[in-house]
Chain A
């Protein structure tokens, strides 16, 4: 078995397995470089706007669902752990361990996406989406706040964030300090959706790769000589995790942090 799997592991254009593994790992690292630069465009743009509009960014961030972000962070870090253990299982030829770690990693990653979907659902339900949804809700809130006092508990079915924003801006001149521009709040939301959305797409791609590894493992096509295949998927997965570790505080933990959702 090992002879035939070995001969099919070495590709025809490589001289030996070491060269092949070395090239594959280098290739994946180079791809990770492109991913880092890809996200850095978003991070730079975000930094510029956060520098221009700190108040609006803090306001918007405080109305995101922090607990989901916390859960997702834990899920993702744990899935990185299990992918690292999967490499080890592949190297030692422990097929059932390998399968187990791959399945767990997939489950954790899928859990991340599940919570993300729920989070998006919550945000959309609250009209916390840049564009006409935001503008309509804010306009309703401005109207409501103009005719009702702040102390009254009844918000007329209008979302909490919109009421808060309208209250904050009530009676203020747009050029005065303390005015929070709704357009700039929407700008934050653009970044929120685009950054988490693109990150989510990368998670889904990673989940696809893990499924591919699971299929290979099931067909016993990952002998110890082919551990590098697991390693390169794991490298990609770790990068997606690392991006989230930077993304999370930048999106969810902006401002002084005293006020929660």
Chain B
């Protein structure tokens, strides 16, 4: 499955090990975004506040998942697992809101 021909019992080869500089950079970005989230809120953005907040949280989550949870390593099944969960959360939201947001005239 792995393209690299190393003995099974050996410790992981160095390319499987995280680069500490990359890990730390992600940390600074995620932390920075968290602070930005709070300050932007204080600044008062009006109606776009919620989408901006959720957008920032999404970027933070994506960075954590890509670098720290190693989705970057492109294991197909794991990526599919992660994406599938998001897809079904999306379905859950859309279909519940399809009822809640259209209840203007009442039900059956």
Q: Does A174 contact B (CB under 8 A)?
A: no
A249 CB contacts on chain B under 8 angstroms: 37, 41, 53-54, 56-57
Of A41, A80, A84, the most chain B CB neighbours within 10 A belong to A84
Rounded to whole angstroms, the CA-CA distance of A256 and B41 in the bound complex is 7
* 9 smallest beta-carbon distances between A and B, as pairs: A224-B11, A249-B53, A257-B41, A33-B85, A253-B41, A81-B27, A242-B61, A16-B8, A40-B89
For chain B, what secondary structure do more than half of its interface residues adopt (helix, strand, loop), or is it mixed? helix
- Closest residue on chain A to residue B62 by CB atoms: A242
Can you list 26 pairs linking A and B with CB atoms under 8 Å apart?
A25-B75, A26-B81, A32-B85, A33-B85, A36-B85, A36-B89, A40-B93, A51-B97, A73-B34, A77-B27, A77-B31, A78-B27, A80-B64, A81-B27, A84-B68, A87-B18, A225-B11, A227-B12, A235-B69, A241-B64, A242-B64, A249-B53, A249-B54, A249-B56, A255-B49, A258-B44
Q: Does A111 contact B (CB under 8 A)?
A: no
Contact of B97 with A246 in the complex, beta carbons under 8 Å: no
Contact with B along A34-58 (1 / 0, CB 8 A): 0011001101100110011000000
A85 CB contacts on chain B under 8 angstroms: 18, 20, 23
Contact of B78 among A29, A74, A258 (CB under 8 A): A29
Interface residues on B, range: 35 or more
**What's the least CB distance linking A164 to chain B, in Å?**
19
B3 CB contacts on chain A under 8 angstroms: none
Q: Does A139 contact B (CB under 8 A)?
A: no
**What's the least CB distance linking A165 to chain B, in Å?**
22
Q: Given that A18-B1, A249-B37 are known contacts, is A26 also in contact with B17, CB under 8 Å in the complex?
A: no
Contact of B18 among A52, A84, A224, A256 (CB under 8 A): A84
A184 CB contacts on chain B under 8 angstroms: none
Contact of B49 among A77, A88, A257 (CB under 8 A): A257
Q: Does B42 contact A (CB under 8 A)?
A: yes
Rounded to whole angstroms, the CA-CA distance of A253 and B60 in the bound complex is 17
Contact with A along B53-86 (1 / 0, CB 8 A): 1101100110011001110000101100110111
For chain A, what secondary structure do more than half of its interface residues adopt (helix, strand, loop), or is it mixed? helix
B70 CB contacts on chain A under 8 angstroms: 231
Contact of A30 with B69 in the complex, beta carbons under 8 Å: no
Q: Does B108 contact A (CB under 8 A)?
A: no
Contact of A256 with B44 in the complex, beta carbons under 8 Å: yes
Q: Does A6 contact B (CB under 8 A)?
A: yes
Rounded to whole angstroms, the CA-CA distance of A131 and B75 in the bound complex is 48
Rounded to whole angstroms, the CA-CA distance of A249 and B85 in the bound complex is 22
Q: Does A107 contact B (CB under 8 A)?
A: no
**What's the least CB distance linking A97 to chain B, in Å?**
11
A77 CB contacts on chain B under 8 angstroms: 27, 30-31, 34
**What's the least CB distance linking B72 to chain A, in Å?**
12
B69 CB contacts on chain A under 8 angstroms: 234-235, 238
Q: Does A70 contact B (CB under 8 A)?
A: yes
Rounded to whole angstroms, the CA-CA distance of A231 and B69 in the bound complex is 8
B38 CB contacts on chain A under 8 angstroms: 66, 70, 253
